[in-house]
Structure 1
Amino acid sequence: MTAEGKAPEAEQSAQSADPVGGRWVSALALANIGVWVGWFGPLQLLLARQAEHLTPDHKTSTLALVTGVGAAFSMVANPVFGALSDRTTAAVGRRIPWVVAGVAGGAAGLVVLSLAQSVAVVIAGWCLVQLALNAAFAALTAAVPDQVPPRRRGLVGGWLGVSQVVGILAGTGLATVAGGVAAGYLACAVFSVLAAVPYVLMRRDSALSPGDRPAFRWRTFLTGFWIDPRRHPDFGWAWLTRFLMNLSYSISTMYLLYYLTDAVHYGGDADTGVLVLTALNALTLLATVVISGIRSDRSGRRKSYVIRSGLVISAATLLLAVWQTWTGAVVASLVLGLGYGVYTSVDFALLTDVLPTEADRGKDLGVINIANALPQVLAPVIAAPVVTHFGGYTALYALAGALAVAGSVLVRRIRSVL
């Protein structure tokens, strides 16, 4: 059977599975919160503070180096671990073993970061965090098309959006109130592990018997990560639009701490300022993310929501570009939350609708998630010279707005989804 012929099978499989209940969705969302805490406690504050402490005269370039190398590891890890989970024949299922190993490894990486006294150790610790938490994230993401029928994926995508923003907010909060960089890393590590426990204990997973696992061949395994956009154009356009949206978002948020100190000249503690802006962003995101997924499920439409959300995200970045005051940052954070809430839930449902095959969901979603990780590699490479040499924060956030508009336009090229 052709790859194109397997997409309906994926829908039938999810639709015929026992309906997922609120307890499973809640446990899935909590485990995702733990993963996002492990990522964004460091990304929002801790890595920036560590770079400032270790290399005060080169903090921007050090942060770019650490996050860029880590994101490169993430870009590889997500599809590889997704593909491995597709082939896992453990008695508890395909995905749960990777959730357990991932959160344990991520916590170990955060402990390494808490002890780091050099840039090299920071890079090593952050790469371990990225490798391990991407294993957990790939497995958790693949569980959605495994367990959830298409008609409910907007709703579940909405709750995953909630988990993302709560994780970012909780990670930022833990990093702010823990009492130092080392304590912040340790707090994030403990939270990440505990958050995964309910999901693991529920033991709801799709199983693969050893007889159903295809023979392993390196050539087939490696070439499988290339999904030809000529054969699967909707998958290709979905990947590109997510890449552009996430590049816009990464550029907008990665230098927020330095934006407050260097452009806004924030009078108070900049760490607290970042926490306040993150909380305001979360407030409006939570107001839109679940309801948008529900409305998208009911209408059967995805693209119009993604298009409008991209334009709202662009408006927020342009506010950051031209209104460089604390008030402007507050308004922009509120607007950004509105747009990103709609985008997060509906885009995830759209992506699950264009996966090429049922058997390779973990791998294919991992390839999609390269569109999340690659912007983390490129954002510092782009942002550092723009801020330093080509127009400062005005040019940086104008660029972020243009990228969001491009993502909104190109989503119209997807044909199989309304």
Structure 2
Amino acid sequence: MDEAIAAGTETALPTALAEPTQPVRAGWITLLFLANIGLWLAIYAPIQVLLPEQVASLHQHLASSSAVPSGGDAVLLSVVMGVGALASLLANPVVGALSDRTTSSRGRRHPWTVACALTGAAGILVVAAAPSVAVMAIGWFIAELGLGGMLATLTAALPDRVPATQRGTLGGLIGISQMLGTVLGALIVIVIVTRMSAGYATCAAIVVAGAVLFVARTPDEPLPREFKPRVPVRTALRRLWVSPRQHPDFGWAWGTHFMVNLGNDLGTLYLLYFLNDRVHYHDPQTGLLILMALYAVALLIAGAVCGTASDRSGKRKPFVIGSAAIMATAAVILAVSPTWSMALVAAPLLGFGFGTYWAAAPALLTQVLPAAADRAKDLGIINIAYSLPLVVAPLLAGVVLGLMNSYPALFALAGVVTVGAVVTVTRVRSVP
């Protein structure tokens, strides 16, 4: 039975494993949308605003006490973000694999969604109280462990419940939720809740609220015990690897997701320092808010328009190729002219490109999954292509900014990486 389930060939598969055919309704979409907003807010409000501020504050305090660690603020921030991203990288496939095997009456994904949201919130609160960069890194590791696991279960909702013909539209909405979480998070911690500790607490509360609301008000079909994979957990975890030789489209799609996310992270994670150190903008936080608002509006338009267009055409790759070209153009603009006026041009271009990508990417990624029984595990591996750039980007940025002190070089690197996605996506054969 295990082989039949893995191949998705059983004619009497339970609802939890069957390919969905009924379009999801507005209420379910809204709750998933809100849960994703809470997740992305809890990830990006700290990354873009709170963590840089806290690192700078702790660094300044150490400088005044003559105990300054080596490296500037950007390098220390890279260490904290890199440690956290490693946790997310581990949590995504592991929580995904465990949820695939879960036979709780509450469903396969919901118990893990709540548990991971609570873990993420606890880690955020540890960061809020951290007296040193080292404790910050520990807290952010715990936070990303939970948030990475929550990402795995929420991502699995797409192939679990959404038919392929509706995934472009839903993918666009997921991209919009990421943008809204990012922008709302920045707005909350910069304008509404200005104390750093209160900002962290607000992020923790919002991610838990979004998870609980989604779990309490939506169904999650349980997996019958007789369909639970009959292999030990330890063996299942060893099988996290998906061979790109056996599943080449999965491998090429993974590479595409990695390239686009790495390019986006290199282009956005250090904007606050860019505005302060290179542009010398008079109010870097307000400047960041302006740029993110432009990014958000463009992403919103692209996600709404291109998601529907992708579903109607049934094609995914042209949208991914177009998105990579637009994002690379934005990066080149900042590399050639790293000024405030050009940032105002590049921000909406980057947002439109990333929104276009999210309008097609979830559909493409879920259409290359190897087996229905391993959806969350395989999507957890796909999500590594989101988490790994948060490890790689700080390392690359640390080298470029620490050794070269060059933001144009950083943006040029973002453009080159994004162009790589054009090469990888064209190698996917099973999705038009």
TM-score tier by shorter-chain length is: over 0.9
Task: Compute the displacement of 1:14 (Å).
Answer: 2.9
Cα deviation, 1:293-333, whole Å, max 9, x if unaligned, reads 11111111000110011000000111111222211111100
| Secondary structure at the counterpart of residue 204 of structure 1 | coil
CA separation of 1:260/1:8 partners in 2, compared to 1, >3 Å: closer, same or farther?
farther
Deviation at 1:180, TM superposition (A): 2.2
Given the superposition, is the C-alpha separation of residues 390 and 49 from structure 1 closer, same or farther in structure 2, using an over 3 Å criterion?
same
Q: Distance in 2 between matches of 1:2 and 1:48?
A: 50
Q: Does 1:117 align with 2:131?
A: yes
Of the three residues 5, 8, 12, the one matched with 1:6 is 8
Equivalent AA in structure 2 for residue 117 of structure 1: P
RMSD: 1.9
Q: Does 1:295 align with 2:300?
A: no
Shift of 1:356: 0.4
CA contact (8 A) 2:172 2:360 kept: yes
Distance 2:288 2:144 in 1: 23
Deviation at 1:412? 0.4
Instruction: Work out whether residues 66 and 123 of structure 1, in 8 Å CA contact, stay in contact via their aligned partners in 2.
Output: yes
SS of the residue corresponding to residue 413 of structure 1 reads coil
Q: Residues 258-302 of structure 1, C-alpha deviation per residue, up to 9 Å, x if partnerless?
A: 1111111112x2112111111110000000102211111111100
Equivalent residue number for residue 54 of structure 1: 58
The aligned residue for residue 204 of structure 2 is: 189
Count of residues in Structure 1 that have an aligned counterpart in Structure 2: 416
Q: 1:304 to 1:213 in 2, by over 3 A?
A: same
* CA 1:8–1:317: 2 relative to 1, 3 Å: farther
Paired amino acid for 1:46? L
227 and 43 in structure 1: CA distance in 2 versus 1, 3 angstrom threshold: same
Q: Equivalents in 2 of 1:20, 1:7: separation in Å?
A: 24
Q: Given the alignment of the two structures, is residue 30 of structure 1 paired with residue 44 of structure 2, yes or no? A: no
CA–CA separation in structure 2 for the residues paired with 1:239 and 1:215: 28
Aligned pairs for 1:211-226 within 5 A: 211-226=226-241
Matches within 5 A, 1:187-266: 187-266=202-281
TM-score (norm 2): 0.92
Q: Deviations over 1:109-138 (max 9, x none)?
A: 111111111112111111111011112111
TM-score by length of 1: 0.95
Show CA shifts across 1:317-364 (max 9, x none).
111112222111111001111111000121111000000000000000
Structure 1 stretches of 5 or more lacking a match?
none
Give the secondary-structure state (helix, strand or coil) at the position aligned to 1:14: coil
Give the aligned residue type for 1:175. V
Runs (5+) with no aligned partner, structure 2: 64-71
1:284 paired with 2:298, answer yes
Aligned to 1:394: 408
- Give the counterpart letter for 2:200 in structure 1: Y
Aligned with residue 132 of structure 1, among 130, 146, 151: 146
- Residues 207-228 of structure 1 show CA distances to partners (whole Å, capped at 9, x for unaligned) of 1122221234255213211101
Q: Name the CA distance, whole Å, in 1 between partners of 2:9 and 2:338.
A: 47
Deviation of 1:414 (Å): 0.3
Shift in Å at residue 3 of structure 1?
8.8
Give 1:190 deviation, angstroms: 1.6
Q: Is the 8 A contact 1:7 1:356 kept in 2?
A: no
Query: Equivalents in 2 of 1:132, 1:383: separation in Å?
Result: 25
- The answer to whether the 8 Å contact 1:113/1:122 transfers is yes
| Deviation, structure 1 residue 156 | 0.9
Does the CA contact (< 8 Å) of 1:35 and 1:192 recur in 2? yes
For 1:188 and 1:116, locate their aligned partners in 2 and report how far apart those are by CA, in whole Å. Answer: 16
- Contact residue 6 and residue 372 of structure 2 kept, 8 A: no
Equivalent position amino acid for 2:86 in 1: A
- How far apart, in 1, do the equivalents of 2:190 and 2:23 lie? 40
2:320 and 2:356 in contact (8 A); partners too: yes
Q: Residue 105 of structure 1: which of 119, 129, 138 is its match?
A: 119
Structure 2 counterpart of 1:342: 356
Give the residue type in structure 2 aligned to 1:131: L
CA distance in 2, matches of 1:336, 1:32: 21
CA–CA distance in structure 2, aligned partners of residues 233 and 207 of structure 1: 31
Measure, in 1, the Cα distance between the counterparts of 2:284 and 2:10: 50
Matching residue within 26, 36, 43 for 1:39 = 43
SS of 2:426's partner is helix
Higher alpha-carbon deviation: 349-358 or 173-182: 173-182
Quote the sequence identity (%): 45
> How far, CA to CA, are the matches of 1:8 and 1:158 in structure 2?
32
Aligned residues of 1:92 and 1:203 also touching (Cα < 8 A): no
Where do residues 151-170 of structure 1 align in structure 2 (5 Å cutoff)?
151-170=165-184
Contact 1:7 1:358 survives alignment (8 Å): no
Aligned mates of 1:311, 1:22 — CA distance in 2: 33
Question: What letter matches 1:6 in structure 2?
Answer: G
Deviation string 1:119-164 (CA, Å, 9 cap, x unpaired) is 1211111111101111211111101100011111111111111111
Residues 1:405 and 2:419 are matched in the alignment: yes
2:150 matches 1:145: no
Distance in 1 (alpha carbons) for counterparts of 2:59 and 2:209: 33
Output the CA distance in 2 between the equivalents of 1:208 and 1:298: 33
Change (3 A) 1:349 1:169: same
Residue 108 of structure 2 corresponds to residue 94 of structure 1: yes
The aligned amino acid for 1:215 is R
Question: Which deviates more, 162-171 or 391-400?
Answer: 391-400
Q: 1:328 aligns with which of 317, 342, 351?
A: 342
